[in-house]
Chain A
Amino acid sequence: MPFISNTDKERKEMLAAIGVKKFEELLKDIPGKFIHQEPCCLENPLSELEITSRINELVSRNISTDDANSFLGAGVYDHFIPAAVDSIISRPEFLTAYTPYQAEVSQGTLQYIYEYQTLICELTGMEISNAGMYDGASAAAEAILMAVRKTKKFKAIIAETINPLYLQVIKAYTEGVEIELVMVPEKNGLVDLKILKDKLDDETACVLIQTPNFFGNLEDVFAIEPIVHSSKKALFIACVDPLSLPLLNSPAEYKADIVVGEGQSLGNFQSFGGPLFGFLATSLSLARTMPGRIVGASLDSDGNKAYCLTLQAREQHIRRVKATSNICSNQALCNLAATVYMCLMGKQGLKEVSEQSTTKAHYLAEKICKVDGFSMAFDAPFFKEFAIKTPIPASKIIQKLKHKNIFAGINMKQFGYENMLLVAVTEKKRKCDLDGFVNSLKEVSNV
């Protein structure tokens, strides 16, 4: 039997040592009618060879973004990942280690989380980062809960330009605890500042803005911030793409109070949408209301520098019902991938990734707009993703281009926008990929 070390002989010896003759005696306290003597209905066990062919066969029914020309984004992006990332995260010392509760035998994990926290703080300009959340959506939801905890106000204002999937998760997280979500509509692809001003009052716990937003557009954060902070207590939560930060204004520059986002684009594969990881950073004054784990530096009994989990008094294993969140596991291995990625790409590489994604996206946008019937949906500045209006339903374009192995973008109809396609570009795209997409768009829209 795979993955079980005891032989039948050893089992017998152990049973004898326990003082029973056969295994079933160990179940004697369980009501007999609950116990299944017959095996359940799983298929017969597969050998390693068989499961390998099974997986290979199933995988052959997928088309990966490596084998297609993909322009899909909306929170998950196909950025380049250096080989060294996977070789490091595959090491058993990282892969099969436990949560670092026993600090003395977990310094590897603790130190990389400390470095991860530092990198997130550098990118965002914030003072403290936690050790990671499930994904960008849950991080955004937890940031709202955190603002409510801090301000003791129960109204959260959210820009409708946020990723609608995030909004669904936020709803699930907030409705039970009676937080009122107030939406501010979109105007020209950006949050409507006039309405934001109207909705904001002294009962507001926070305002959540995503930039670049769901359409890829850059919100006018310097205009938003004074509005948010004109309320007595309201906190400004910025949801950002971390790969925009080497280039674009850091949330600290526009005085955000809490910064969250999806970290997948930092060295993690798309993996069909998971694992992803969320990040959450803020100022020290909010540290005790933060959800999730935090690693701190300390000293060991010889006076040498050592790391450990810190501020644990906020967490569920100590505070139980009064904990800042129920989070027990974070996404440590994903954080490691991000840490290794950020170290490898470094100061210049991250900027280059960010810059190439932006310029290539703008090149593509310009080209598409020269095709008959296509135009930009909005005229706001954008980063690496943009929305275009299509002359025929987006679903038709997607279906037709699929047969040319082009994943044309996301059909915005499912989010309430007719004849609109959301197109994402990363540094991986070559000019010929972009031109190929444009040519195919010409063909399908002419028919």
Chain B
Amino acid sequence: MSKTIFEKNSSGRKGYTLPKSDVNLKLEDCVPQNYLRKEEAKLPEVSELDVMRHFLELSQKNHCIEKGFYPLGSCTMKYNPQVNEVLVRNKGILNLHPFQDEDTVQGALRILFDLQQDLAEISGFSNVTLQPVAGAHGEFTGLKIMRAYHEAKGNSHKKKIILPDSAHGTNPASVSLVGYKMVEIKSNEKGMVDIEDLKAHIDDKVAGFMLTNPNTLGIFETQIEEIAKLVHSVDGLMYMDGANFNALMGYIKPGEIGFDIMHYNLHKTFSTPHGGGGPGSGPIGVRSDLAKFLPVPMISKNGNKYYFDYSHKETSIGKVHSFFGNFAVNVRAYIYLKMLGSEGLKRVAENALINANYVMKKLENHYYIPYKDIFCMHEFVANNKWQKEKSGVKTLDLAKRILDKGFHAPTIYFPLIVSEAMMIEPTETESKETLDEFIEAMIEIARESEDNPEILKNAPINTPVKRVDDTLAVRQLNVKFEM
């Protein structure tokens, strides 16, 4: 195990240089003594080389997209073009202050304006805000807009949000964050929304319906028109969780098939790096009559001049972020979209679908696939049913063994409606060759689970650490290094 940086400390060692202050003032002339810290913070004293070696050593213990395949369902871990990273590291992007005068940031505003327009165009919505900084942040913003819409109409009794039982965990959490009540409805035997169950819950109290389409089983909700009609019949709004937009781009515009609000996960669909957990970006698009509720400022254009638009401040839900969202992430999405163009978007969707269906087909005799009689979209769900029956192997064991084979594990134990689910999403950037290697490894693991299930139960063995005890971590909470 690597030492922590705190164990590499050597008193007096320095990892920085700074110019000497050329201002002739002392701290004690500036700040009264009683405002000064009594006990020094214990911060490391290490050299630049110490730091470089430390973090290089840590980096070697991570899986990343350039190292290998990441078949994570619902997370769309695609490859990120390097040009994004080079272009975004420009001082004219990184060293801009959000309070600069509009005249000095016209290029930045143009990028944001164009990205708003492009995202609106490809999704069929009239307006887009780039302010939310993560998918769940977009959900929150979208639900706030829903609320503002109903309140503007005097319908404050609308407090119910309907969700299918296959919804992402962030959906219910976002619902309660805005003070709404969640009503969960069942999926039918085809893995889609159960229309009868939906009908039973449709009433005047419904504020909206949150749906992921294609859903988290990788299935397109073919009854979307009927669902939208039902929800709209009580003046509820349709929210689309855009986590799976990868599958539809260029072919289907959510704004045209019944959705009123949608968030985009720029860090998934538009190839900005996941960063080990962020930063992301979660813009939302809305139909035209909801635009007045969007957070301020919007980026607008007057002739050739771009500006921060606060004109709808009175009706806006306000702000969800200090400034204008994750600008540097949005620039990456802008670059990606400009390089793909309309045809490129379609190619993305096509290859995402072909790759997913190919892997599903090749694995169908080796793993139980609950919904395999239809084509999946860009991902599918399998589980350990057969392995469990034969040798008691858990999906967790399968996942850990996959790590041993040099791949990241799929998303596991989600969606909740499939027992011990394993959600596989190859993405469009992976080649047939990689998929074949993955398929071969999966088949090998299925074989191992029959011949030698202990290997799986003790996996992983080829990783920087062996299986980590997460219950111990909770029982003996250790969340900082004691110096």
Contacts and interface: CB of A to CB of B under 8 A. Distances in A.
Nearest to A173: B177
Interface string A15-38: 101110001011111110011100
Contacts of B429: 3-5
Contacts of A132: 278
Interface residues of A, number: 208
Contacts of B225: 31
Nearest to B23: A363
Interface in B130-183: 133-137, 139-140, 144, 147, 169-170, 172-180, 182
Most buried by A among B103, B354, B469: B354
Given A273-B323, A310-B470, A99 B104 contact: no
Interface string B262-296: 00000100010111111110000000000000010
Nearest to B225: A31
A407 interface: yes
Most buried by B among A35, A114, A273: A273
Interface stretch (B87-95, B197-205, B381-389): B87-95
Given A59-B92, A88-B55, A105-B63, A52 B83 contact: yes
Interface in B44-92: 44-46, 48, 51-52, 54-56, 58-67, 70, 72, 75, 77-81, 83, 85, 87, 89-92
A104 B62 CA distance: 8
Nearest to A9: B432
Nearest to B94: A269
Contacts of A19: 361
Nearest to B338: A46
B321 A407 contact: no
A117 interface: yes
A165 B362 contact: no
B95 A270 contact: yes
Interface string B449-461: 0000000001010
B273 to A, nearest CB: 5
Interface string A28-59: 11110011100111111111100110111111
A177 B179 contact: yes
A76 B97 contact: yes
Contacts of A43: 338, 341
A313 B38 CA distance: 37
A171 interface: yes
Nearest to A408: B101
B337 A29 contact: no
B159 to A, nearest CB: 10
A321 B172 contact: yes
B342 interface: yes
Given A296-B477, A311-B477, A250 B39 contact: yes
B358 interface: yes
B387 to A, nearest CB: 19
Chain B interface bracket (under 10, 10 to 19, 20 to 34, 35 or more): 35 or more
A95 B38 contact: no
A218 interface: yes
Given A92-B64, A176-B179, A328-B136, A347 B469 contact: no
A349 B16 contact: yes
Nearest to A44: B341
A370 interface: no
A276 B478 CA distance: 27
A308 B473 contact: yes
A46 B441 CA distance: 38
A46 B322 contact: no
Interface stretch (A188-196, A230-238, A352-360): A352-360
A105 B403 contact: yes
A309 interface: yes
Contacts of A381: 30-32, 35
Interface stretch (A67-75, A200-208, A371-379, A439-447): A67-75
Contacts of A29: 220, 222, 374-375
Interface string B461-482: 0011111111011101111110
Contacts of B196: none
B366 interface: no
Contacts of A438: none
Contacts of A106: 61-63, 276
A405 B152 CA distance: 45
A35 B222 CA distance: 12
Given A91-B59, A104-B403, A346-B46, A122 B41 contact: yes
B335 interface: yes
A157 B12 CA distance: 43
B324 interface: yes
B45 A347 contact: yes
A329 B134 contact: yes
B468 to A, nearest CB: 4
A114 B340 CA distance: 38
B276 A14 contact: no
B355 interface: yes
B249 to A, nearest CB: 9
A66 interface: yes
B347 A328 contact: no
Contacts of A2: 81, 339-340, 344
B339 A48 contact: yes
B34 A117 contact: no
B266 to A, nearest CB: 11
B4 interface: yes
Contact of A61 (B95, B107, B273): B107
B133 A111 contact: no
Nearest to B343: A39
B100 A63 contact: yes
B90 A55 contact: yes
Contacts of A250: 37, 39, 41
Given A23-B350, A107-B464, A346-B43, A135 B62 contact: no
Most buried by A among B43, B222, B339, B362: B43
Contacts of A112: 55, 58
Given A36-B253, A72-B100, A122-B42, A84 B51 contact: yes
A134 interface: yes
A127 B63 CA distance: 30
Nearest to B18: A352
Contacts of A437: none
A58 B111 contact: yes
Interface string A328-371: 11111110100010111111111011011011111100000000
A327 B339 CA distance: 31
B353 interface: yes
Given A40-B250, A51-B335, A104-B403, A78 B95 contact: yes
B110 interface: yes
Given A168-B318, A171-B318, A274-B321, A4 B351 contact: yes
Nearest to B176: A321
Given A62-B92, A103-B468, A3 B460 contact: no
A246 B111 CA distance: 38
20 contacts: A1-B343, A40-B122, A51-B335, A63-B92, A64-B91, A94-B62, A104-B403, A104-B465, A105-B408, A128-B480, A131-B277, A137-B322, A218-B35, A297-B479, A302-B466, A319-B173, A326-B174, A342-B43, A349-B18, A363-B24
Given A269-B94, A300-B467, A359-B26, 8 more contacts: A2-B81, A29-B222, A36-B253, A46-B339, A88-B51, A136-B322, A272-B96, A346-B43
Which 10 residue pairs of A and B lie closest in terms of their CB atoms, listed nearest first? A273-B323, A273-B98, A45-B341, A39-B342, A176-B179, A5-B431, A333-B275, A59-B92, A332-B277, A61-B107
